[in-house]
């Protein structure tokens, strides 16, 4: 497999009232053709900032890409002209945002909004673009697509709005599709339908998918490989099976232990104590140290690097020294 999207040593900072804060710290990822990379972690870990960096949507000011590289099909995106980024966004790389009600324009019909995306990247008439939009709504499983194309976002259910977002994202057959929490606030039946739809679209279009989520169940369902993020850094990366079955980082283990176990009345639901620390309060050691049951002196004094200590890369002093 060839890498369609390569992120290397990406660093993103924001100006805040506390000074300059690092939101992403040396993040390196790659997404290969035809595969799904799952990016998992709690809210505030840097998952969405990574996606927005790829899309060229970091608000500036206060944010800026302070270093690193983002290459899409070999083309460097950092420093590219706004016109070139607009040409790539939607056609080569597209994003499904996590809350369609705030991403769709409430005063335009969903058909018109999909048609606008088509006309932006393809030389077709407005009538043809609208017909293509109807076909896409049918493709993503919306019943009566001719009628629904003339509806406004508030007239659709949450699941239908999410399908509209998917139709818009795949309207120009992007090489890379970023799905940012695509099943947030949807019931489990609709979640399964959305995942099936994404798998079907990947098979038909050959797209690489970057799936951003905090749900380890979604990771087991969708991902080929996984990157676990915490406090703006990648702390473990491996195949989905390795991360789910043999996690090396205590944080990854904690995420998996939080998954309810069906049919085990004696299996107590666990939680990870504490919360993700504010980025402006990160010390020089491991950001997870205060929440970690395996913490020792080195964890407070030295930031662990993402290196291979066994089966796959992990940023953990305990894994490096064989304490975990």
Q: Which residues contact 197 (CB under 8 A, 6 or more apart)?
A: 140, 141, 163, 166
Eight-state DSSP code of residue 301? H
**Given this model, what pLDDT does residue 50 score?**
96
- Residue-range domains of the chain with CATH: 3-92+174-261+268-320 (3.40.50.300)
**Given this model, what pLDDT does residue 21 score?**
94
**Given this model, what pLDDT does residue 10 score?**
97
Question: Do you find a cis peptide bond into 61, omega within 30 degrees of 0?
Answer: yes
**Given this model, what pLDDT does residue 170 score?**
85
- E strand map for the chain: 3-16, 19-32, 36-40, 63-72, 75-76, 93-96, 176-180, 208-213, 225-230, 233-239, 307-308, 313-314
pLDDT tier, 264 (very low <50, low <70, confident <90, very high otherwise): low
Q: Edge to edge, what strands does the sheet with 19-32 contain?
A: 19-32, 3-16, 63-72, 75-76
pTM given for the model? 0.89
Rounded to the nearest integer, the mean pLDDT of the chain is 89
For residue 194, pLDDT beyond 90: no
Please state the length of the chain.
Answer: 324
For residue 33, pLDDT beyond 60: yes
| Residues 78/69, Cβ–Cβ less than 8 Å | yes
**Average pLDDT of the segment spanning 214-235:** 91
**Given this model, what pLDDT does residue 8 score?**
96
For residue 185, pLDDT beyond 80: no
Cα 290 to Cα 288: distance, rounded to the nearest angstrom = 6
| Residues 16/56, Cβ–Cβ less than 8 Å | no
For residue 145, pLDDT beyond 60: yes
Cα 314 to Cα 319: distance, rounded to the nearest angstrom = 8
**Given this model, what pLDDT does residue 271 score?**
82
Cα 318 to Cα 296: distance, rounded to the nearest angstrom = 8
């Amino acid at each position: 497999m060839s890498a369609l999207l390569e992120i290397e040593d990406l660093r993103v900072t924001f100006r805040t009232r506390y000074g300059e804060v690092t939101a992403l710290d040396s993040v390196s990822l790659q997404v290969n053709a035809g595969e799904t990379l799952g990016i998992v972690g709690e809210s505030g870990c840097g998952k969405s900032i990574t996606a927005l960096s790829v899309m060229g949507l970091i608000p500036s000011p206060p944010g800026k890409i302070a270093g690193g590289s983002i290459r899409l099909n070999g083309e460097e995106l950092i420093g590219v002209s706004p016109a070139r980024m607009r040409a790539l966004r939607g056609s080569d790389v597209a994003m499904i945002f996590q809350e369609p009600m705030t991403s769709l324009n409430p005063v335009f019909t969903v058909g018109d909004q999909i048609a606008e995306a088509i006309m932006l990247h393809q030389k077709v008439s407005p009538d043809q673009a609208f017909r293509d939009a109807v076909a896409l709504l049918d493709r993503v499983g919306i019943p009566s697509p001719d009628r629904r194309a003339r509806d406004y976002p508030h007239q659709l259910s949450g699941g239908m709005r999410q399908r509209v977002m998917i139709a818009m994202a795949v309207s120009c057959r992007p090489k890379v599709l970023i799905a940012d929490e695509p099943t947030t606030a949807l019931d489990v039946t609709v979640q399964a339908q959305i995942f099936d739809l994404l798998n079907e679209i990947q098979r038909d279009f050959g797209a690489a998918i970057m799936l951003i989520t905090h749900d380890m169940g979604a990771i087991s369902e969708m991902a080929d490989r996984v990157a676990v993020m915490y406090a703006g850094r990648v702390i473990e990366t491996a195949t989905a099976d390795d991360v789910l079955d043999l996690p090396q980082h205590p944080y990854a283990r904690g995420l998996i232990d939080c998954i309810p176990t069906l049919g085990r009345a004696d299996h107590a639901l666990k939680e990870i104590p504490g919360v993700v620390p504010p980025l402006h309060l990160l010390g020089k050691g491991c950001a997870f140290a205060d929440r970690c049951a395996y913490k020792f002196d080195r964890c407070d004094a030295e930031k662990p690097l993402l290196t291979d200590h066994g089966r796959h890369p992990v940023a953990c002093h305990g894994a490096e020294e064989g304490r975990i």
